[in-house]
Amino acid sequence: MLSPKVRKTFTVLSILLLPAYAPIGLAVSIHLPSAYIEADVGSNLVSVDVRQNETPTAGPIISRTAGFVWGADFGYQFNPYWAVELGFSQYKQSKSHNTVEVTDLVAKGIWPLAERFKPFGKLGMTYLFPEAINGKMLVPYLGVGFAVVINSYSEFTVQATGFAIGPPSLGALLLGFTIYLNP
């Protein structure tokens, strides 16, 4: 889990930035369909089984490490409700200095709740390239968040993402910025 200090920081930033980007009475719409690029930064939690080649009956020994994550997504939004994304992220563990890289392909469901506020969910698959684990893994991806429309070609996002099948598991709390290429 993310530290209380990190969660508090993201909560305060989200609350402070939401009213700044959502003035009442101004209608803004993204011209759809449109391709978009999204950049994200945030905090992550990586959990891995640190034992190799031991009997599974003994149970895993889990190592949890927090760190920094950055990522970029290229997406295409078909209508106000659906989009697809292809993304790359890098999870850097602060104590061990290990890096886990992931590539993901997700479907994004969007609920345009208000003119400038759009909660969303993501579901797809992630391919892991972890240094801490021998081999590569294909695992389910799940994300949830919201976007605040800034103008007709950009929006601010806050999202929590994660993927796991036992150890390893990765989770992140991200702040992002999206630019639509067809404003």
- In the chain the domains, ranked by start, together with CATH numbers, are 4-23+31-51+61-180 (2.40.160.20)
CB atoms within 10 A of CB 52: 7
Predicted confidence (pLDDT) per residue in 42-55, tens digit = 998 766 655 554 55
CB 35 within 8 A of CB 85: no
pLDDT value, residue 78 = 94
Predicted pLDDT of residue 132: 46
Closest residue by Cα to residue 141 from 88, 63, 180, 79? 88
Four-CA torsion 76, 175, 122, 25, nearest 10 degrees: -70
pLDDT for res 105: 96
Spans of the chain below 50 pLDDT? 19-27, 53, 132, 134
Please report the pLDDT score of residue 166 as a whole number: 60
Nearest to 133 by CA among 42, 84, 60, 72: 60
What pTM, to 2 d.p., does this model score?
0.74
